Amino acid sequence: MQGQVYRVDVRGMEEFSARELYDLLRMRVDVFVVEQNCPYPELDGKDPAALHLRLVDGDELLAAARLFEPREPGAAAKIGRVVVSPAHRGKRLGDALMKEAIAACERLFPDSPIALSAQSHLQRFYESLGFTVTSEEYLEDGIPHVDMVRQMSAQPA
């Protein structure tokens, strides 16, 4: 993101102020439920177990993703709920967010591959970051997805 300065923040949900948590959850609902016209349970009970990576500018939330530690040794870390604020699209924040999420996973879970469930139309974007498709296309909440994994030997983010 050229010319834009943002701060990267990685924390557990319990470390957020009420306002920070509200802003994060509102952005996800606005994008995943309202904008994508996809009624599903956005508040899925997984947030307390996740680390939340945010790109922020001052008090403004620009983008966010959830990170999950591997369930067991050798298993994949997971990145999910990758979202960019509609007010900040077109600034390559998706690239910045994913590079920060990959770097955080590599730092926090150094011996693990990284997995994600990608909306199918974003497959090429994730492939450009070193992810490869590991499943057939499937519907998740009515939206086509594919599972993808990035091995630790993949190209640098």
pTM of the model: 0.91
Neighbours of 76 (CB within 10 A): 20
Low pLDDT (below 70) residues in the chain: 1-4, 153-157
Cβ atoms 83, 64 nearer than 8 A: yes
pLDDT at residue 74, as a whole number: 84
Q: Which residues pair with 51 in a beta bridge?
A: 12, 67
Q: Where are the domains of the chain?
A: 7-150
pLDDT of residue 1: 44
- What is the tens place of the pLDDT at every residue in 65-108? 999 999 998 899 999 999 999 999 988 999 999 999 999 999 99
Under CATH, to which class is 7-150 assigned? alpha beta
